[in-house]
Structure 1
């Protein structure tokens, strides 16, 4: 993998991780469309570790929220009143929302890796993302805020996130749809979606890091990883700022149309 290829893929990752069009799907399709071929295990590790760049983008953008949640969470444990404060409760809800993806991801790791090798499967799941976004707009009443989220909402959104282990099913799209079908307004659904991405990305990065150590000639792979990481971090931060502003005024129909068009193009043109 060259530095230019790493830059392009890092840009794709950063822009599509938070915008609900499936970063994993784009990372499968972009090399295919550009005629780039990478070893399967190397491509999977690159994709997951470059997500750590977008993780840093979330940490920076929501640093005040995360600091308040973390301090309140541990303060509640120390005082043996884990649910006394709103921020502490939010910490527990984020943990609960993470569990479905962690359990399903560990049980289905090999199956997920195989799915990443098939552009056709990616095309099908891009269409599924489009359907989820349309359902969210039609079914969601958008009357609830972040403060209204309870454990049932958290689990529902968590299982929505587990769907996005497959390429083409957008993580942000699935969790936005999960939140909106529980009648959260769009900004609240997006904020919870981005916050709950933190533990999942950390866990995926740790697993991919272990796989990275098993690669031959690891040192030669580090410069492309660094370029991809930095590019994803910067573009991811920009994407978060833009999307939060966009969702305060617009629906998800634009992204649904894009996913549907891309999915159909993949199914019709890629062999």
Structure 2
């Protein structure tokens, strides 16, 4: 079985610290295209946060029009700026959190980010390395659509506040906050839907994925072959078929597909896939 698709995480994988794709990596992406691979994006960013990067057209043109955003919850067409499908948390989540009295909440609607307080906006901007000016502050948080709700507070209180509300998942507490996302949010499940619907691929077996974060763990272990960056999250490194010793640019230009000879015959099915 040969690869037909390459799926890339952005932050920490394809992008440098300055939020750009360097020229050598760009050459590597062109090399994959020349070898017949279709290039896909699978990122945790929403359309709004991806557009903040200001990626050049020469970069975007290398990728398929439909990008998988917000960890698989959004299919966004970068050519038309259209959200073609989107999964959100239930409309009752934000009101329940506000009623509980959490002072610092941030909602990502896909087209903007709104915080309840200056403190929440500043903390969110630092955590996600986005401009503070890109986050609105308002006492009237949007209830819908809410792709991701970030709560700065105790996770146990968030669980209590959302008791009885189905259709959402509460992530672990990290750096003083936890995220509430649609139930089943996962890059693997989102990519499986996209591949089946748009490319008539019954499995992820012909996909090679590149990633580095804890939100890439499932994806790197479920595709035909997963490649983890040299400084990856430990879970991502364990799940991958190959962990790079050098740079992504070096591997794409001189190494790929070395180290992936024993690829899985078919992608392992993710527990979130339907």
Q: When you count strand as a share of all residues, which structure comes out higher? A: 2
TM (norm. structure 1) is: 0.27
TM (norm. structure 2) is: 0.27
Higher RCO (CA 8 Å, separation ≥ 6 residues): 1
Q: When you count helix as a share of all residues, which structure comes out higher? A: 1
